[in-house]
Amino acid sequence: MKQEQIRVTIKQLVSGNLRWCDPNDEVNDSPSPTKPEGFTHQSAEEVLDDILFDLKSLKDELEQFDKSFAPLKERVMKKSAVLKSNKKIV
């Protein structure tokens, strides 16, 4: 995943979670006589926990992605080193 994609994903995770604790967001704006003014589905603390969990999950996913390409990276680096050493001989 490219850096730009990672940044976009982080922004989406954080802003998507913040919506649940923002009383002015439409996700919390369903009219109901049982909901008090300023109602939110989650507290800021709950949203923080969700954000941390989501970011940790993203980090784990990226680490797994990097590990899956480790053998390929190793082969490319070895091939590159061989090519560089061959150029020095010629």
Per-residue pLDDT averaged across 14-42, rounded? 87
Widest CA span in the chain: 83
Tell whether the model's pLDDT for residue 90 goes beyond 50: no
Any idea which of 6-10, 24-28, 36-40, 78-82 has the lowest mean pLDDT? Answer: 78-82
Pairwise pLDDT comparison (48 vs 87), residue with the higher score: 48
Tell whether the model's pLDDT for residue 72 goes beyond 70: no
Number of separate domains in the chain: 1
Backbone angles phi, psi at 55, to 5 degrees: -70, -40
pLDDT band, residue 43 (cuts 50/70/90) = very high
Structural domain span for residue 57: 3-89
Neighbours of 42 (CB within 10 A): 18
Output the CA–CA distances (angstroms, integers) from residue 44 to 47, 56, 59, 75, 89, in the order listed: 5, 18, 22, 47, 64
